Amino acid sequence: MKYKAGFCQFKPEFMAKEKNLETMVNLVSKTKADLIVFPELATSGYTFINLSEVEQVAETFQKGLTYIVMKKAAWDNNCSIVLGFVEEDAGNFYNSAMLINPDGSSYLYRKTHLFLHEKSFFSPGDTGFQVFPAKNNIKIGIMICFDWIFPEAARSLMLNGAQIIAHPANLVLPWCQQAMLTRSIENRVFTITANRTGVEKNNSLSNAFTGQSQITSPLGERLLQADDSSQITGIFDIFPEIADNKSVTAMNDLITDRRQKYYHS
């Protein structure tokens, strides 16, 4: 089945949730797609320096403004949407992503591997690497940004049946875009990395984000890549069922050839 999937790369404004949501709704309405992935912490920006800032933009999953606004956008545009947001649950804060489908169903992932100063504000995610149904029952796994450096994240999503890995990101290190080609090859999955752009300063902290959002294929092709600074939407026609075939040669299969007893857990 042909599936129009891709990313919206943009520069969220720090602490300006309503404005960022307006930008995102506008981007979705201009795009014909079955699945759109937005960056990590797309509604809030990234460079927090105290807990009070985190609290101000935090939302309860399936209750907050982001959920209400983006659920409507998914319905209006008949499109599944993945986006990063600050989640609050039982007094804990998580760097989370939600998947919202046009039929109103929604799913949550909490970032497992926190990066640098995120450890000062967020609790490590406890949802694990689940796979969720998106529009047309396509199987979507979600991981967030720094999860990329742990191959176990993508591997777990693949073993759970993901056809597409949606990867909201706020990348600052130079290696991820290259590494995701390998994640695609070693797991035979599509990946969509939606990165943000721009420099974000908050007092003494400053982050320069690398853009270059991309879509990769199970055969290790980079199907599409943005530049490092533009606000840009990239959509590609993919065939998700290609990811169901884990055969590398006539005698090698990525799942049945595994030798788990020799792997360190």
Residues carrying an active site annotation: 40, 111, 145
Cα 180 to Cα 89: distance, rounded to the nearest angstrom: 31
Tell me which stretch binds ligand ACM (CB under 6 A): 154-162, 166-174, 224-232, 239-247: 166-174
Tell me which stretch binds ligand ACM (CB under 6 A): 167-175, 187-195, 233-241, 245-253: 167-175
Q: By three-state DSSP, how is residue 81 classified?
A: strand
**Identity of the residue, 170 or 184, whose beta carbon is nearer to ligand ACM in the bound complex:** 170
By the rule CB under 6 A, 48 interacts with ligand ACM = no
Tell me which stretch binds ligand ACM (CB under 6 A): 59-67, 71-79, 168-176, 194-202: 168-176
Q: What is the DSSP string of 107-130?
A: EEEE-SS--TTHHHH-PPP-S-S-
The β-bridge relationship of strands 35-37 and 80-89 is parallel
**Identity of the residue, 145 or 162, whose beta carbon is nearer to ligand ACM in the bound complex:** 145
Strand partners, 256: none
**Identity of the residue, 111 or 188, whose beta carbon is nearer to ligand ACM in the bound complex:** 111
By the rule CB under 6 A, 172 interacts with ligand ACM = yes
C-alpha neighbours within 13 Å on the C-beta side of residue 59? 24
Q: By three-state DSSP, how is residue 175 classified?
A: coil
By the rule CB under 6 A, 40 interacts with ligand ACM = yes
Q: CA nearest 127: which of 143, 148, 115, 139?
A: 143
Cα 36 to Cα 76: distance, rounded to the nearest angstrom: 14
Q: Please, what is the minimum distance in Å from the beta carbon of residue 43 to ligand ACM?
A: 15
Residue 108 CA from chain centroid, whole number: 11
Q: Please, what is the minimum distance in Å from the beta carbon of residue 71 to ligand ACM?
A: 25
Q: Which of 8, 73, 162, 171 binds ligand ACM (CB under 6 A)?
A: 171
Q: Is 119 exposed, middle or buried (0-12, 13-18, 19+ CB in 10 A)?
A: exposed
Q: Which of 83, 146, 189, 217 binds ligand ACM (CB under 6 A)?
A: 146
Q: Please, what is the minimum distance in Å from the beta carbon of residue 113 to ligand ACM?
A: 8
Query: Do the beta carbons of residue 125 and residue 109 sit within 8 Å?
Result: yes
**Identity of the residue, 33 or 144, whose beta carbon is nearer to ligand ACM in the bound complex:** 144
Query: Do the beta carbons of residue 85 and residue 43 sit within 8 Å?
Result: yes
Q: Which of 7, 10, 14, 115 binds ligand ACM (CB under 6 A)?
A: 115
By the rule CB under 6 A, 180 interacts with ligand ACM = no
**Identity of the residue, 34 or 118, whose beta carbon is nearer to ligand ACM in the bound complex:** 118
* Residue-level length of the chain: 265
Give contact residues for ligand ACM (rule: CB under 6 A).
Answer: 40, 115, 145-146, 170-172
